[in-house]
Structure 1
Amino acid sequence: MITIKRPYIGKFISILYRMAQAFFDKHFETFGVGSGRFSYLLYLYRQEGVSQDVMAKHFYVDKATTARAMAKLEELGYIRREEDPVDRRAYLVYLTAKGRDLEPKIRAVLKEWALLLTEDLSPEERDVSYQLLKRMAEKAGIAKEQQSYGQRIM
C-alpha cells in the first residue's frame, strides 16, 4: 500500500493566521482596534450585555487577555462596561454608538479578506472549506475544554 505523506497542517494554519493578523492590523490601524480586538466587537454586535468572562470562554483566551482588550476598547470609546448587578466582581459589556458605527467597516474588511482567500474557489469548494474549518475549530475547542491535548501522542 502506498501512503501519501501529508504536510503538517499547522504550517498552513500558522501562515493563514499570521497573514490574517497582518491584513487586519493594516486595515484596522486607523480605528486603533488591531487584529486582537475586533473579534470582541463582532461578538458584541451579536450579543451585548455579556460578561468579560463569557467572552473569554467563547474565544478560548484567559480572562486577563479579555480584560486588557476591553480596557483598550473602552479607552477608544467603542464599548462601555457596567458592574454586573448580580456579581459585583464582574462587568457587563455594551457597545457605544461609536462602536456600533464601526460595524460596517469591520464587516467590509472581513469580506475583503474572505474574498481574497476564496476568489479562486468554486462556490462548492468555498462551502466545503468553511464547513471543514468550522469542524476543525469545534474539535480543537472540545479538546481544549476536555484538556485532552496531547493524550493521543504518548
Structure 2
Amino acid sequence: MITNIELFNALRNVTAKREGSRHRILMELYTIGEGISQRVLVDTLHFKPATVSEQLEILINQGLVEKHIDMMDKRISVVSLTNRGREEAKAMVHKREQDLEAMFTDLTPVEKDILYSLLKRIMIK
C-alpha cells in the first residue's frame, strides 16, 4: 500500500520535476502581469527569502527581470519582467501546456474528473 509521503512526493514531482526556483519566479511574474514586491513573491511561492533574493539576482544578470524601489514606499523592492523575460516566460507557458497535454493524454475525461475532484478534496483541508 502506498504511503501518504510517497503519494505526496509523486504529486509534487508531477509539476515540480522540470521547474526550478528561477522558472517558478518567471512564471509567477508572468502570471501576475505586473510588478510585485519581493516579499509577496516569497510568500506566494513559499520560498525562503534568501532563495528568492539569490535567484532574482541571477535573473537580473540574465536580463530577464528588473528590480526597483517602490515610489510610494521606499522600503519595498518591486520586481517585474523585462521584455525578454516576458518572452521567455511566454515560451515556458507554451511548453508547460504541451507537457500537461502529454501527461494527461492517457486519461479519459472521466478519469480526469475523478483526479480533479480528489485533488480538490485534499486541497480543501
TM-score of the two chains, using structure 1 as the length reference: 0.66
- Larger Rg: 1 or 2? 1
Task: State how far apart, in whole Å, the 1-side matches of 2:61 and 2:117 are.
Answer: 37
| Map of 1:61 onto structure 2 | 47
Q: After TM superposition, give the deviation of residue 19 of structure 1 in Å.
A: 6.2
- The partner residue of 1:10 within 5, 14, 34 is 5
| Secondary structure, aligned partner of 2:39 | helix
Report what 2:86 is aligned to.
Answer: 100
Pick closer, same or farther for the CA change 1:50–1:123 going to 2, 3 Å.
same
> In the aligned structure 2, how far is the partner of 1:104 from the partner of 1:124?
30
Look up the SS of the partner of 1:92 in the other structure: strand
**Count of aligned pairs:** 124
Equivalent residue number for residue 78 of structure 1 = 64
Which structure is higher in helix share?
Answer: 2
Distance across 1 between alignment mates of 2:74 and 2:31: 24
Measure the CA separation in 2 of the matches of 1:43 and 1:80: 14
Shift in Å, 1:62: 2.1
Evaluate the alpha carbon distance shift between residue 111 and residue 100 of structure 1 in structure 2; reply closer, same or farther with a 3 A threshold.
same
Question: What runs of 5+ residues in structure 1 fail to find an aligned partner?
Answer: 1-5, 25-33, 140-154
Distance 1:62 1:138 in 2: 24
- Cα distance in 1, alignment partners of residues 44 and 90 from structure 2: 23
Give secondary structure in 2 for the equivalent of 1:102: helix
TM-score w.r.t. the length of structure 2 is 0.79
Q: Which amino acid aligns with 1:43?
A: E
Give unmatched runs, 5+ long, in structure 2: none
Runs of at least 4 residues off by over 4 Å: 18-22
Shift of 1:85: 2.2
In the TM superposition, residue 66 of structure 1 has moved relative to its aligned partner by 1.4
Q: Which has the higher contact order (CA 8 A, sep 6+)?
A: 2
Match of 1:125 in 2: 111
Output the CA distance in 1 between the equivalents of 2:23 and 2:124.
Answer: 21
Q: CA contact under 8 A between 2:30 and 2:90: conserved in structure 1?
A: no
Using the alignment, how far apart are the partners of 1:92 and 1:134 within structure 2? 33
In structure 2, distance between residues paired with 1:85 and 1:138: 38
Post-superposition shift, 1:50?
Answer: 0.9
